[in-house]
Amino acid sequence: MKVIVDPEKCLGCGVCEADCPDVFQLGDDAIAKVLLDPVPDKYRDDVMQAVEDCPEEAISVQD
Ligand code: SF4
């Protein structure tokens, strides 16, 4: 799957990184980056948790 963070929406709160640190990492610009493309399916549950937890709805997933 492909995971995208909208940099216009991201506030840099770090919740996604806490949910799934293998996939999300805050950059020096305090915007979350997606580390893997494509993201392996084993991370799906953790990524979907991050989608749910993101306060800005900045994370989207494409299969
Ligand atoms: S949870 Fe959302 S707002 Fe917070 S760092 Fe991740 S993408 Fe950005």
Structural domain spans, the chain: 2-62
Count CB-CB contacts under 10 A for residue 42: 8
Closest residue CA from atom 4 of ligand 1: 13
Tokens representing 62 are 């494409």
Residue 14 CB–ligand 1 contact under 6 Å:
yes
Residue with the smallest CA separation from ligand 1 atom 6 is: 16
User: What's this model's pTM, rounded to 2 decimal places?
Assistant: 0.96
pLDDT of residue 52: 98
Q: How many residues does the chain have?
A: 63
Q: What is the pLDDT of residues 4-37, one digit of tens each?
A: 999 999 999 999 999 999 999 999 999 999 999 9
CATH of 2-62, one of 3.30.70.20, 3.40.190.10, 3.40.50.740, 3.90.226.10: 3.30.70.20
Determine if ligand 1 sits within 6 Å of the CB of residue 23: no
Residues 6+ apart with CB under 8 A from 57: 9
Average pLDDT of span 54-61: 98
| pLDDT, position 28 | 96
Residue nearest to atom 2 of ligand 1 (CA): 54
What does the pLDDT average to over 32-60?
Answer: 98
Are the CB atoms for 36 and 9 separated by under 8 Å? no
